[in-house]
Amino acid sequence: MILFFSATMNDMTTEYVAAFDAGTTALKGALVNGQGCIVASASSELDLIINGDYREQSPDQWWQAFCSASRHMIEQARQSESEFNVTRIRGIIFSGQMQDVIVLNGELNPVRNAILYSDGRAEEQAKQLAETYQGGAERFLNTVGNRLEGCLPLPKLMWLREHEPETYARIRHVLISSKDYLIAQLTGECVGDVAACSTAGAMNIRNGQWNAELCEVAGIDMTILPHLHNPQDNIGTVTESAAQRTGFSAGTAVYAGIGDAGATTLASGVSHPGQYNINIGTSGWIATVSPEPFTDKPGAANLAFGVEEGFVNAVPFLNAGDVHKWVTGVFADGDYVEAHRLIETSKPGSNGVLCLPYLVGERFPVMNPNIRGAYVGLDPDTAKADMMRAALEGVAFSIRQGMESFDAKPTEISLIGGGARENAWCQILADVLEHPIEVFANADILPAVAMASLVFNVPDLLQSVCECTVYQPNPDTARTYADAYRRFLSLYPMLRTMD
């Protein structure tokens, strides 16, 4: 870092990286300078095509949205940065939705809509593959790092061959991430990063190569799959025709980028074992990096990282922010300010009330779609403040139970998502986990800065712009929660008999 700032600061501050996220609902772009500041941004909304259980999108709309966002972002930069010029954009890098099926002809035009990750139409083909692949679903899990399901691209390609044979006959290239279609239009190259392509169902997660045996058993020509790269690889440059459409300079470097879950993990500062990121949205996940895929944990998704050695392990849990929303509706008439006041009114341990927070079943730390939530320990003095706090404590206890199954003891824990806006919950998590919790104030910009750091080759760029609040555990409260946690662990074994 000392050499970077002393020798190249003038050059780096006048160079930029264009970072994009090709999501499901919108395509977003940010222009990041060498100091990690966002100097321009733009976004374009995207349509989801729903037909029964099918979920699709138009790759042509992705490209149109990208061209529009790029031009708006570049124009904004010209207005806000007096010395800006597109030739100073060092590179373009993407994150994007993963586990898609994007099928192209020889001219790199889509032959049909993209089939999205959320589309599970190929369950029958997944069952066929489990029966014909030697070693079945268990060996598939050990090879691919993820469970064999009908939402994976490999079974979906089998579905296309069976149900749309004329369309399938026109396929010359298959891409796995929305970002990779944009890269193909920019550069003429069909590539994929090892993180996103870990979700294809056809890649050996340990060596980062397509698995010839799996493709042969599935009846898929392996040559139609994209060339595999690490996220930081320069894979080509912007063509003359793409430059005219987007406003970028022809010859601008384009990088492989990374699937969205990998980008979120990178942006949260997780790159080594012992570092954990907890995301509390409606549902949630715990992400870490480890030397091996998590094949023994229910519902775990594994990605080859590519940025560093090891694997991204994301373990989803169903009950998170939805629990907060439910208790706020029941006990505070949907008023989150009042909900916060109630949580603070009760004391740690909720006056002996425990909550099993599994409102919609659970998949981690237990996998049971039928289990439902419960309160235990109510008495005549129990107040709604106790029940409110007990619900958030229950989610924290469930997270602790899940994290105790991980091999590496925590060295760092960060928190993102809507749940991080309730500071009482942040403190509950610090006390329950008996570990400091870092909450990012500017989490929305961090993925773009993290990707820009790969292009600038400045690993510490993210740390230089990261703004966070650290919640320290209170030793007395931690002891209270340790006793309550032991009681919490007995709830599920008792209540599951009532399924």
Mean predicted lDDT score pLDDT of the chain: 93
Residues 6+ apart with CB under 8 A from 54: 115, 119, 121
**156 vs 149: CA distance, rounded Å:** 10
Give the per-residue pLDDT at 82.
85
Q: Of 76 and 318, which is predicted with more confidence? A: 76
What letter would DSSP give residue 368?
Answer: B
Strand partners, 253: 91, 237
What's the pLDDT tens digit per position in 361-376? 898 898 888 899 999 9
Does pLDDT of 12 surpass 70? Answer: no
Quote the pLDDT of residue 315.
86
More confident of the two residues 499 and 30: 30
- pLDDT-based confidence at residue 283 (cuts at 50, 70, 90): confident
The pLDDT value given to residue 327: 97
pLDDT at 499: 61
Q: Which domains does the chain have, with CATH numbers?
A: 15-256 (3.30.420.40), 269-436+472-499 (3.30.420.40)
* Overall average pLDDT of the 198-222 stretch: 97
CB burial of residue 143 (10 Å; 0-12, 13-18, 19+): buried
Q: What do you get for the CA distance between the two ends of the chain, in Å? A: 57
Site of tokens 């970028």: 248
CB within 8 Å of 389: residues ≥ 6 apart: 342, 343, 346, 350, 424, 428
pLDDT, position 7: 29
State the CB neighbour count (10 A cutoff) for residue 217.
18
Residue 140 amino acid letter: F
208 band by pLDDT with thresholds 50, 70 and 90: very high
Residue 470, both tokens: 């650290």
Is residue 193 a contact partner of residue 256, using CB atoms and an 8 Å limit? yes
Chain segment 464-496, per-residue pLDDT in tens: 898 899 999 999 999 999 999 999 999 999 988
338-375 burial, b at 16+ Cβ within 10 Å, e below that, comes to: ebbebbeebebbbbebbbbbbbbbbbbbbeeeebebbb
Residues 152-173 have a mean pLDDT of 98
Q: For 453-465, what is each residue's pLDDT tens digit? A: 999 999 999 988 9
The tokens describing 318, both together, are: 């169903």
Report whether pLDDT(5) > 60: no
Residue 269 structure tokens: 């500062």
